[in-house]
């Protein structure tokens, strides 16, 4: 029998970007295991936009209804273009499928809490006035996505010596440039907080480049933190309250 609400809840299909690095998929699965433990009555499936399987069409196959949630941290090209295109393709193959499409993980206050958790694990107390933080996102060609990260940095400035946004690609400043600027400005200590979901190319590049530029601490990626699982479930509940769309037959 196909999955559906009769099994205890509308299936949640979480769509990640995908990576050639196997650590990324392992992190996504660990995060979704957190969701399964928190809400055992909800069937949870994984899908990827690129590099990994299953695809969204494969993950939705056989379902009568689903909530599709992007495992993405900001609204940018992947959430605005790639994922809707993949969803339209999947729905064309499953004309009776009813879909609710949720919003990205960020922005959300719990993501700042997760960043602080990772910094604390690296030995940096929250809001330390002697620490300047570089908030590093992957970066996007979409200026709106980069602006979201900049706003996060401004709103997260409680107590810190400073909080500066940086971008691993497609925008400036680069993480190592932000570290160097803070060092020249006299910051007693510079900590790097990767606003990245999983380990992989960007996370490795950020760690290497910022340490070479003089960063004192580089925190871990967000990973399968319980706060992220809570955000995902909030997005799921919000999507359940929106109308479902039905593919044209």
pLDDT at position 244 is 77
Q: Which residues pair with 66 in a beta bridge?
A: 99
pLDDT at position 85 is 80
Residue pLDDT, tens place only, 73-87: 987 655 566 777 888
Of the pLDDT bands very low, low, confident and very high (cuts 50, 70, 90), residue 88 is confident
Average pLDDT over residues 41-47: 97
Q: How far apart are CA 163 and CA 133, in angstroms?
A: 5
Q: Is the pTM of this model over 0.95?
A: no
Of the pLDDT bands very low, low, confident and very high (cuts 50, 70, 90), residue 243 is confident
Sheet holding 131-137, edge to edge: 162-167, 131-137, 189-194, 217-218
pLDDT at position 78 is 58
- What average pLDDT does the chain have? 91
Is the pLDDT confidence value at 188 over 90?
yes
Q: Which residues pair with 165 in a beta bridge?
A: 135
Of the pLDDT bands very low, low, confident and very high (cuts 50, 70, 90), residue 46 is very high
Average pLDDT over residues 51-68: 93
């Amino acid at each position: 029998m196909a999955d559906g609400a009769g099994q205890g809840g509308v299936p949640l299909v979480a769509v990640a970007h995908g990576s050639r690095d196997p650590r990324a998929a392992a992190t996504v699965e660990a995060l979704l295991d957190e969701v399964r433990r928190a809400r055992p009555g909800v069937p949870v499936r994984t899908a990827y936009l690129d590099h990994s399987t299953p695809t969204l069409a494969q993950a939705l196959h056989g379902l009568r209804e689903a909530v599709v949630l992007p495992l993405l941290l900001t609204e940018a090209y992947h959430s605005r273009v790639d994922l809707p295109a993949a969803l339209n393709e999947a729905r064309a193959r499953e004309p009776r499928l009813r879909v609710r499409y949720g919003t990205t993980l960020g922005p959300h206050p719990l993501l700042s809490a997760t960043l602080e958790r990772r910094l604390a694990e690296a030995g940096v107390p929250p809001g330390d006035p002697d620490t300047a933080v570089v908030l590093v996102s992957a970066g996007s060609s979409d200026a709106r996505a980069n602006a979201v990260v900049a706003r996060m940095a401004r709103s997260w400035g409680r107590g810190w010596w400073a909080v500066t946004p940086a971008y691993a690609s497609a925008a400036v400043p680069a993480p190592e440039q932000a570290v160097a600027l803070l060092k020249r400005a006299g910051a007693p200590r510079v900590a790097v907080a990767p606003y990245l979901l999983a380990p992989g190319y960007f996370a490795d590049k950020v760690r290497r480049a910022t340490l070479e530029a003089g960063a004192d601490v580089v925190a871990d990626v967000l990973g399968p933190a319980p706060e992220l699982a809570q955000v995902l479930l909030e997005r799921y509940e919000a999507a359940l309250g929106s109308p479902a769309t039905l593919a044209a037959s």
